[in-house]
Amino acid sequence: MRHNPDVRTDTLTSYQERMGRVLVHIQAHLDEPMPLEQLADVASFSPWHFHRIFRGMVGESVKEHVRRLRLERAAQRLKTTDRPVLDIALEAGYETHESFTRAFAAMFEESPSSFRAGVARPMASAGPPLDVSIRSIGPIRIAFVRYTGPFDQVGAAWNKLMMWAGPRGLIGPGVRMLGIVLDDPEITAPEKLRYDAAMVVKDDIGASGEVGIQEIAPGEYAVALHVGPYTTLGRTYSRMCGEWLPASGRELPSAPSIEFYLNSPMMVPPEQLRTEICLPLGE
């Protein structure tokens, strides 16, 4: 019996779109219980098969995925705040300091206290003070392609997004391009880093296969302008977190940072690239 290749393509496109919904949902509800039945419903999959589909497409089970994201967020808390380890453990879903320490050490090969003590604090810059403003951003509706892997290889996700956007007439003057940075490369393994190549779209644009739709909720962000190649973005992140943040009295909540790309590497040399780095702010 011959199989229609169009049917296979449509099925793959549908699976990619539905799995994208689940991954966005998990990230947005990381502090909440996430029973398989609920996640299967988000993706419109059968609860009976959902865990197998998730593992096959994501490369880890739902439980492993959620546990890893929570522990990586805990590492971020240890790196950027002075909050007690027990508070961070409870936030990560562990009932005791000891159980959190065991899980953390299994993943990062050192205890939470040792990790915190070993974090290199950025030295004060010899250059001009970093200009950081606080700005309200959102809600913003975006179309995105999720990429997982080393950040220096995100070009493949951008190619997919542009191939989708071009025929729909979405590329032109005034289009807003942005990246959603979901992980810290100093904490998350390179092959697990997550990044959304994205563009702002109107309400009449829907998801399609690997191109998903999500909304960035309103919030306050610390915003700084980075001028230079994308490979040096980490320097400005470090200055924002190491110089500005400790003096601001603010903390970073469990939300991704945003990069707004004000010009294109297709139009200007790397040293002239302008990127607004936006760090989400808590109280």
Closest by CA to 280, choosing from 244, 242, 254, is 254
Alpha carbon 258 to chain centroid distance?
8
DSSP class per residue in 234-254: HHHHHHIIIIIHHHHT----S
Global pTM value? 0.78
Domain 132-280 listed as CATH 3.90.1010.10: no
- To which CATH superfamily is domain 64-118 assigned? Homeodomain-like (1.10.10.60)
Tens digits of per-residue pLDDT, 139-196?
999 999 999 999 999 999 999 999 999 999 999 888 999 999 999 888 899 999 999 9
Tens digits of per-residue pLDDT, 90-139?
988 898 889 999 999 999 999 999 999 887 555 545 456 789 999 999 89
- The phi and psi torsions of 136 (rounded to 5 degrees) equal -85, 130
Joined tokens for residue 128 = 């001009």
Burial class (CB in 10 A: 0-12, 13-18, 19+), 3: exposed
